[in-house]
Each structure stands twice: as C-alpha cells, then as structure tokens.
Amino acid sequence: MLNRFGWKNGLAALLLSALSSVALAQAAKPHVVVLATGGTIAGAGASAANSATYSAAKVPVDKLLAGLPELGQVARVSGEQVFQIASESFTNEHLLTLARRVSALSKQADVNGIVITHGTDTLEETAYFLNLVVRTTKPIVVVGSMRPGTALSADGALNLYDAVSVAASQDAAGKGVLVTLNDEIQSGRDVSKTVNIKTEAFKSQWGPLGMVVEGRNYWFRAPVKRHTSASEFNIDEIQSLPAVDIVYGYGNMNTTGIDAYGKAGVKALIHAGTGNGSVAAQAVPALRALRANGVQVIRGARVPDGFVLRNAEQPDDQYDWVVAHDLRPQKARILAMVALTKPQDAKSLQRIFWEY
C-alpha cells in the first residue's frame, strides 16, 4: 500500500527508523559548547602563503565550525561568539565576561565540556584565570593556532578538533583548564607561549599533561596545584578585578615605572626581576616604599624557566614581600588580581602563590 507521499509503508517505516537512529546516536554524544573570542584561529591572510602576516579575528564561529564537519564524529557541537578580537586587546572586563559565561555553561546538565577559541598572545593568561575562578570538574579547553586558516599547513583545524575531542572526554574531567595545540595537552596553569612563529609555540617547563592523537587522549602526569572545583575563588562572587601591574627588571634600571604605578594606585606590583627574581639595589627603596603604603610587592623573574626562591637574593620576610614561585610575571599578575578580590596580607598571599 502506498502512503500519501507515494512510498510503500514498509520503506517509509525503514527510512524513519534510520533517521531516528541517527538522531538518537547524535543526541547520545557529549555536548561541547565552543565559545569563540577571535584570534589567529579565526584569522585570514591575503593568500595561502601568508602564515605570519594576516588579520586576526575575521571568521565567525559558525563558519569556523561548519568548516570542520569531522567535529560531529566526536561530539554534538554548538557555538557562541563571545568576542571577536585579537587577544593582545583582552582586558579585565573581557576576562570577567568570558569566565561568567563559562561558569554558567558548566552548570548546565546538557553541557559536557567547553572549548574557548582564543588568540595565542594572551591565551595562557585567560586559561590560568579560568583555572582559578570557574568551579567545575567538567573539561574546559582553551585552543588557538599559530597560523590563520587560509595559510598553507594551517594548524587551527586540527587544534580545534583536538580541543573538542578532549573536552568531550570523561578522562579530561577534574584536571583543571587545559590548552591543546600541536597535539599536546597542556595545563592552563603551566603553559606559556615561548616563540611567535612556530606551531609548537606553547611549552611548559614541567612538560605537557599528555598528548591527543586522532581523537584519543594519552595522559602522562596530572596537575597538583589547586584549581577549578578545589579553588577558594569563584567567578560568581567576583564583581571586578583590582589593579595589578608589572615592572621589568634590567641593567641600569631606574624607578620611574615603580613610582608611576604607585601613584596610579595599584594594589600589587609584580617585579619581573633578572635571574632568581633579583632586584637592583637602586630599586629596593622604591619597592619598600610601595609596600609601606599597602601595595603588595611580588618578586617574579623574567627568565622563562625555574622558580623564585624566597629569601634568596632579597630578604622577603624582612621586607614583607611575596615571591611568585614558578609563575611567569604575566601569570603572577593574574593570580594576584584574583587573590586580592579578597583581603590578603603578605603571608596569606604567599600561601596562595604556593598553592595555586
């Protein structure tokens, strides 16, 4: 018997059953939300030969996802355009807006993981901020690319595929905010951009947490510092971020920057010192004066690896200063801002730098 479409009932039933099975299979896949903020991964160059010269933040998230149909094999993916900017223009307000959206999504029962596409210049800062303030065990993955999608050997598509794959994986839960580039799974706390024109630009002195290859995760270590669900900080309770800035140490250093930041009313100043966070003799009085006026002084280091030892190079206990431990100055700034959303003396702030 033919139905009103002219099909035999049996054939129609078979087709409807197949369509239903496909729908059920897709619904059973993890739901990953991609929050797009711009950056090189959404960039475009004038020609395929332009891998380092291009305009960032041009491709909207819907086109970014539509250009990678393979994502549907690992997850049910939806996208939101949060910002469309180059990441060097990220402000504290951008951080707060993004973190609030990530936090809200993490509370939704129908969301299994979250991916943030981001420019690489400040990707590490955003990843660490989210690591500190979003209270969830669900996978959060920040991803970028070193080449625009229009370039020969563009890396963004695979990086994004890896990010969605990791965010959809149950074994990525509870490991804090992650960063995926160049097949590596990095801790958002530890990783930094170390070079500006290579696809293997992001490294951690402690090594990656694992690798992701063809959609499968291989884990080799786990983060031990406090993060996400174990953090004492919560984006839902943070209305604004205090002023924290960085001053750079160098030969023949003067105190102009230190004095200017003090007059500007910073709540903390990161001193990016040479070597083991060394401070030039002529800068010590200015930093001590800041501390006497209630500004937290945090001794970091401009060197890419290692960590700052307390009471080495400078008598931190005597001066009531804090050391940044192994955090690079830009990340020390992020932690100091978050920590100082609550009242902290130097001792409690130092405890936070040890633990996070």
The contacts of residue 199 (CB under 8 Å, 6+ apart) are: 145, 146, 147, 155, 181, 182
| Residue in 40, 126, 136, 341 annotated catalytic | 40
Residues 202, 276, single domain; the answer is no
The strand pairing partners of 81, in sequence order, are 36
Q: Which of 37, 91, 117, 120 is catalytic?
A: 120
| Residue 34 lies in domain | 30-230
Q: What's the total number of domains in the chain? A: 2
Examine the domain organization and report whether 277 and 351 are in the same domain.
yes
Tens of pLDDT, residues 202-223: 999 999 999 999 999 999 999 9
Judgement on whether residues 251 and 226 belong to the same structural domain of the protein: no
Q: If you average pLDDT over every residue of the chain, what do you get?
A: 94
Query: Which one, of 286, 289, 276, lies nearest residue 253 by Cα?
Result: 286
Q: Are β-strands 210-213 and 202-203 bridged in parallel, bridged antiparallel, or unpaired? A: unpaired
Residues 60 and 42 sit within 8 Å (Cβ to Cβ): yes
205 lies in the same domain as 335: no
The CATH number assigned to the domain holding 266 equals 3.40.50.40
pLDDT digits (tens, 9 = 90+) for 81-94: 999 999 999 999 99
**Tens-digit pLDDT profile for residues 115-163:** 999 999 999 999 999 999 999 999 999 999 999 999 999 999 999 999 9
Q: Report d(CA 77, CA 32) in Å as an integer.
A: 5
The reply to whether 150 belongs to the active site is: no
Cβ 38 vs Cβ 86: under 8 Å: yes
* pLDDT tens profile 319-337: 999 999 999 999 999 999 9
Domain-ending residue, one of 206, 230, 254: 230
Based on the residue annotation, tell me whether 274 is a catalytic residue of this protein: no
Q: Tell me what pLDDT residue 51 has.
A: 86
